[in-house]
Amino acid sequence: MKSYLRVYPFLAAVLPYKSIEWEKLNTYYMLLVHKLPVLKGEDLTLGLLESIDFDQYRVIKQEEQKIELENTDTEIDPVPVGMAQEPQEPYMAKLSDILDEFNRMFGGIQWEHPEQARRQLEELPTRLYSDVAFVNAAHNSNRETAQMQCNNSLMQIITQLLSENTEFCRNYFDNPTFMNFINQRVFDHAYNHVLRI
């Protein structure tokens, strides 16, 4: 009722026609509001208006409106611009470097068929490129989520390789250090490749 009593005089002054129903309602509410009991409740806004220094606020707002340029000859300093740089190619480790590091770290592993293990290792990034779940994670998620999806996808890919060469797969599943090394290196190579596509 109070909000209606506040709004109606404004509407009556602005609108070109008068509504008899609205006028009756305004009169009824105006007489009724004085007869209603005052609700006893904690008024959290009590003293709020008194604590605001409206005179100071008005001065600040008036000062903000008085932005004027001085009528003097001036020069504007040019905006500093840096040297244009070509976008740098992200550093990508060569697969041969990864294989060399692999041989340094895991050279102690005696491979019965080293060429077959090497071929499977070189094929892992290519097989990962064709994994739809990994490609979607690389394009639509953050790096950590893509890393987790890469680990899951590599687990499935290497499980499929069991029919080709059990030696590589056995070392992958039995040696956690070897598994982490393969996962990280293949992820770094595949993730950067997928983002460039």
pLDDT along the chain (197 residues), means of 10: 84 77 87 78 65 68 68 76 60 65 60 73 83 86 87 86 74 81 84 77
Contact in structure between 116 and 165 (CB atoms under 8 Å): yes
Q: 163 Cβ partners below 8 Å, 6+ apart?
A: none
**Residue 74, domain member (yes or no):** no
Q: Domain for residue 21, yes or no?
A: yes
Q: Are residues 10 and 102 in the same domain?
A: no
Residue 121 lies in a domain: yes
Query: What's residue 24's pLDDT?
Result: 87
107, 19: one domain? no
103 in a structural domain? yes
Cβ contacts of residue 29 below 8 Å, gap of 6+?
1, 4, 5
In a domain, residue 66? The reply is no
Q: 11: domain range?
A: 1-36
Residues 6+ apart with CB under 8 A from 133: 149, 152, 153
Q: Is the dihedral of CA 52, 54, 59, 62 positive or negative?
A: positive
Is residue 146 within 8 A of residue 137, CB to CB? The reply is: yes
- pLDDT of amino acid 89: 61
Structural domain contains residue 142: yes
Query: 97 in the Ramachandran plot: left (φ > 0), alpha (ψ -120 to 50) or beta?
Result: alpha
- How many structural domains is the chain composed of? 2
Say if 101 falls within a structural domain: yes
Cα distances (angstroms) measured from residue 83 to each of 4, 43, 58, 120:
64, 62, 47, 45
pLDDT given at position 30: 87
Whether residues 101 and 192 share a domain: the answer is: yes
Can you read off the two tokens belonging to residue 69? 């340029």
Please name the amino acid found at residue 66. K
* Within-domain flag for 71: no
Choose among 81, 119, 83: nearest CA to 99: 119
Q: What is the pLDDT of residue 110?
A: 62
Taking the C-alpha atoms of residue 63 and residue 57, their distance in angstroms, rounded to an integer, is 10
Same domain, 30 and 114: no
In 3-state terms, what secondary structure has residue 107?
Answer: coil
